């Protein structure tokens, strides 16, 4: 019986050759640097998501149309209430709704990325789950900010008046509160297909806005809705963001509401993204 040639012996001894186990591409180790590649990813996706014409048009036009319907050029628009006129109060209310919708819609785009295989491609790079998650949140908040700034410019030209600090304080609180819906969009984007996620965001946000008092003051609602409203996702962010406009006492329950719902949706998103990248 003839002896094996050295090359045959080496081939038989080594896994991953035609006579051993199949070769599998090694997955790159996650970078040890926190948020590695965030800036590059953010710049790329900002151009292709936030500034995408349909996304940008939706973010800008929705609150402006609603402001024209309820706040601009009305008989009550110039009436002064608290620290602004009614036109400005409606502007900021519609701005809060538009900003939160914009944030949720951009974040829910993760469903499209998963379907197209983009998230799997990222999993083959050193980009960490934390980087991807922070990137999506920042994109969502950027869309919310653009939506709000566009509406404020229109409102200013159409007679919305408020005391100087209100033009900074209220938008800042709206963007902070948009963390809730940004994480909600992420969670829904991971739980459902993209079309289902957008449908849930559209319908759910309208219902949550109603329960938060965006459309009808809570005092005018039946007792059941008044009692149930403080436990819904948009209640805290809406009342917290509008609080500076009124001479009303601060309620810490608003902050608790924002924190609890943000943590709840973020936990779902983190769990799902880890499951995706572990495949």
- Give the chain's mean pLDDT: 86
Q: Could you give the count of Cα atoms lying within 13 Å of 62 in the half-sphere of its Cβ?
A: 25
Predicted local distance difference test score (pLDDT) of residue 247: 81
Q: Which residues contact 272 (CB under 8 A, 6 or more apart)?
A: 187, 190, 191
Structure tokens at 198: 């957008």
Assess whether pLDDT exceeds 90 at residue 28: no
Instruction: Decide which of 31 and 157 is more confident.
Output: 157
Do residues 178 and 103 lie in contact, with contact meaning Cβ atoms separated by under 8 Å? yes
CA distance 229 to 247: 22
Q: Does pLDDT of 212 surpass 90?
A: yes
Residues in CB range of 82: below 8 A, 6 or more apart: 89, 245, 246, 247
Residues 6+ apart with CB under 8 A from 232: 208, 211, 212
pLDDT bin (cut points 50, 70, 90) of residue 124 is low
Provide the pLDDT for residue 32.
56
Cβ neighbourhood burial of 109 (10 Å; 0-12, 13-18, 19+): buried
- Upper half-sphere CA count for residue 156 (Cβ side, 13 Å): 10
Render pLDDT for 85-104 as a digit per residue (tens, 0 to 9).
999 999 999 999 999 999 99
Do 229 and 212 meet the contact criterion of CB atoms below 8 Å apart?
Answer: yes
Q: What is the pLDDT of residue 116?
A: 76
| Residue closest to 246 by CA, chosen among 163, 148, 171 | 163
More confident residue, 51 or 32: 51
Which tens digit of pLDDT belongs to each residue from 47-72?
Answer: 999 999 999 999 999 999 999 999 99
Per-residue b or e along 251-269, where b marks 16 or more CB atoms closer than 10 Å to that residue's CB: eeebeebbeebbeebbebb
Q: Please state whether beta strands 80-81 and 84-85 pair in parallel, antiparallel, or not at all (unpaired).
A: antiparallel
User: Residue 9: its pLDDT value, please?
Assistant: 46
Query: What is the spatial distance between Cα 28 and Cα 275, in angstroms, rounded to a whole number?
Result: 17
* Number of H-type helices and E-type strands within the chain: 12, 2
pLDDT of 23 over the 60 cut: no
pLDDT at 147: 97
Separation between Cα atoms, residue 115 and residue 119, nearest integer Å: 9
Q: Where are the beta strands (DSSP E) in the chain?
A: 80-81, 84-85
- Confidence (pLDDT) at 34: 65
Least confident of 14-18, 159-163, 176-180, 248-252: 14-18
Q: pLDDT by residue (tens digit) across 236-277?
A: 999 999 999 988 889 999 999 999 999 999 999 999 887 776
Q: Note whether 260 and 185 are within 8 A (CB).
A: no
Asked if residue 201 has pLDDT above 50, the reply is yes
pLDDT at 119: 66
pLDDT digits (tens, 9 = 90+) for 130-174: 888 999 999 999 999 999 999 999 999 999 999 999 999 999 999
pLDDT in the model for residue 152: 98
CA distance 127 to 45: 14
């Amino acid at each position: 019986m003839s002896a094996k040639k050295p090359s045959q012996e080496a081939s038989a001894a080594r896994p991953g050759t035609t006579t051993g186990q199949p070769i599998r591409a090694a997955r790159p180790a996650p970078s040890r640097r926190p948020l590695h590649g965030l800036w590059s990813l953010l710049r790329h996706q900002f151009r292709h998501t936030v500034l995408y014409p349909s996304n940008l048009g939706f973010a800008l036009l929705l609150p402006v149309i609603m402001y024209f319907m309820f706040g601009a050029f009305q008989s009550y628009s110039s009436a002064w209430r608290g620290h602004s006129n009614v036109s400005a109060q409606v502007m900021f209310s519609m701005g809060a709704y538009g900003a939160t919708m914009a944030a949720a819609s951009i974040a829910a785009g993760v469903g499209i990325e998963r379907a197209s295989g983009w998230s799997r491609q990222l999993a083959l790079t050193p980009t960490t789950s934390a980087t991807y998650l922070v990137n999506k949140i920042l994109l969502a908040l950027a869309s919310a900010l653009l939506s709000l700034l566009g509406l404020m410019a229109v409102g200013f030209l159409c007679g919305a008046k408020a005391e100087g600090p209100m033009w900074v304080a209220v938008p800042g609180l709206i963007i902070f509160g948009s963390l809730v819906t940004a994480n909600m969009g992420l969670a829904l984007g991971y739980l459902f297909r993209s079309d289902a996620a957008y449908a849930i965001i559209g319908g759910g946000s309208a219902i949550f806005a109603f329960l938060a008092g965006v459309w009808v003051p809570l005092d005018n609602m039946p007792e059941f809705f008044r009692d149930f409203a403080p436990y819904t996702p948009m209640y805290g962010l809406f009342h917290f963001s509008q609080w500076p406009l009124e001479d009303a006492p601060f309620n810490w329950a608003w902050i608790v509401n924002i924190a609890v719902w943000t943590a709840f949706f973020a936990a779902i998103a983190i769990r799902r993204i880890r499951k995706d990248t572990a495949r």
